[in-house]
């Protein structure tokens, strides 16, 4: 995989877990990265880690459930770094652990607003910018070192492919992410905007720690269902995201890559 030097990546939920690992990996591969989150402290920590490793990053606060904030964050990315090549819609919450009848309208609405709204509004803002800069490039700077278009990866889940007992709204939200991913991929394929998704199984992060703590023995029960015998590492999911965005991977769009230690192979 060649690097991402001269490219600009915008990563939501980059203050922790998979988002942080993705921001670090893009920066290590040469991209300038906008680290976005609602947690200013952890977002700034990610930026500090990128800089300590010799990379370039800036923190921009953004609640992905608010279309105005995500639009403003993408605008800010362009003000700071001049363009947007890569959008990673990763921010998400696990929601309440409970059966369908235990989930309230608030539980359902909150998870939909963040997990689905965040991807929907994120892609709207990112695609708008990618199309605008493609027009400018062809009018003013043919090629200009940057191919027209862009790359987007949405973070779904294995729960976006299979049902998830005790996580109905979460599973619904992650299925919706795949519907949006495939639709956007088809709608903008001729503008050279590739849109893909990753579907991780349990991966070490704040979200999984929360789940582990819901009951004694939970971690072992969760691990047992994964054929490879362990949880994923955020860095492993990040590498799949980088591969999806790499220019060598130009034929791949509308796909959901399952990062699941073999779970869905059976
Ligand atoms: N960890 C797993 O096992 C796993 C498995 C499958 C999918 N995922 C998905 O991966 C993504 C990242 O999760 P993670 O596991 O790294 O969890 P995490 O809790 O470590 O990180 C999530 C980040 O998103 C941020 N965030 C939450 N709400 C936000 C909002 N409204 N706007 C902006 N940022 C917000 C949080 O502050 C946090 O920094 C999520 O979409 C999650 O559903 C995780």
* Residue 2 domain-assigned (yes or no): no
pLDDT of residue 215: 86
pLDDT of residue 142: 45
Beta-strand pair 193-200/150-155: parallel
Q: For the domain that residue 209 is a member of, what is the CATH number?
A: 3.40.50.720
**What residues form DSSP beta bridges with 199?**
258
* Residue 266 domain-assigned (yes or no): no
Taking only the tens place, the pLDDT of each residue in 3-41 is: 999 999 999 999 999 999 999 999 999 999 999 999 999
pLDDT of residue 143: 47
Taking only the tens place, the pLDDT of each residue in 108-145 is: 999 999 999 999 999 999 999 999 998 776 554 444 55
16, 19, 113, 125, 231 from 120: Cα distances, Å? 21, 17, 10, 9, 28
Residues of the domain holding 217 = 8-257
* Residue 220 domain-assigned (yes or no): yes
If you ran DSSP here, which 8-state letter would residue 6 be given?
T
* Residue 3 domain-assigned (yes or no): no
Count structural domains, the chain.
Answer: 1
pLDDT of residue 135: 79
pLDDT of residue 206: 87
- The catalytic position among 121, 170, 188, 202 is 170
| 195-199: average pLDDT | 98
Taking only the tens place, the pLDDT of each residue in 246-262 is: 999 999 999 999 999 99
- Check if the beta carbon of residue 54 is closer than 8 Å to that of residue 120: no
- Distance (angstroms) between ligand 1 centre and the Cα of 230 equals 19
Average the pLDDT over each of 45-54, 138-147, 187-196, 234-243 and give the range with the smallest value.
138-147
Q: What is the rounded distance in angstroms from the CA atom of residue 175 to the CA atom of residue 173?
A: 5
| 211-236: average pLDDT | 93
Alpha-helix runs per DSSP H in the chain? 17-28, 40-52, 67-81, 105-111, 117-140, 168-188, 206-212, 218-224, 234-245
- Distance (angstroms) between ligand 1 centre and the Cα of 138 equals 37
Instruction: Identify whether 170 is a catalytic site residue.
Output: yes
* Residue 117 domain-assigned (yes or no): yes
* Residue 109 domain-assigned (yes or no): yes
* Residue 263 domain-assigned (yes or no): no
Whose alpha carbon is nearest atom 42 of ligand 1? 92
Does pLDDT of 101 surpass 90? yes
* Residue 14 domain-assigned (yes or no): yes
- Check if the beta carbon of residue 198 is closer than 8 Å to that of residue 264: no
Taking only the tens place, the pLDDT of each residue in 82-99 is: 999 999 999 999 999 999
């Amino acid at each position: 995989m060649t690097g991402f030097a001269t490219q600009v990546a915008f990563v939501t939920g980059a203050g922790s877990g998979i988002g942080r690992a993705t921001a670090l990996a893009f920066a290590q591969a040469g991209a300038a990265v906008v680290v976005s989150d609602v947690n200013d402290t952890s977002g700034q920590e990610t930026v500090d880690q990128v800089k300590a490793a010799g990379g370039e990053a800036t923190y921009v606060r953004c609640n992905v459930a608010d279309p105005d904030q995500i639009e403003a964050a993408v605008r800010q990315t362009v003000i700071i770094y001049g363009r947007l090549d890569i959008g990673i819609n990763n921010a998400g919450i696990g929601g309440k652990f409970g059966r369908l009848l235990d989930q309230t309208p608030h539980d359902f609405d909150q998870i939909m607003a963040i997990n689905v709204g965040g991807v929907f509004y994120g892609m709207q803002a990112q695609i708008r910018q990618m199309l605008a800069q493609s027009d400018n490039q062809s009018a003013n700077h043919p090629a200009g070192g940057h191919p027209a278009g862009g790359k987007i990866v949405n973070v779904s889940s294995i729960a976006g492919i299979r049902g998830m007992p005790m996580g109905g709204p979460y599973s619904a939200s992650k299925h919706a992410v795949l519907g949006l991913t495939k639709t956007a991929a088809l709608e903008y394929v001729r503008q050279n905007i590739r849109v893909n998704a990753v579907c991780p199984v349990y991966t070490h992060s704040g979200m999984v720690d929360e789940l582990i703590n819901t009951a004694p023995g939970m971690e072992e029960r969760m691990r047992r269902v994964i054929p490879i015998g362990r949880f994923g590492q955020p860095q492993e999911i990040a590498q799949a995201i980088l591969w999806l965005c790499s220019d060598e991977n130009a034929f791949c769009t509308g796909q959901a890559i399952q990062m699941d230690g073999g779970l869905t192979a059976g």
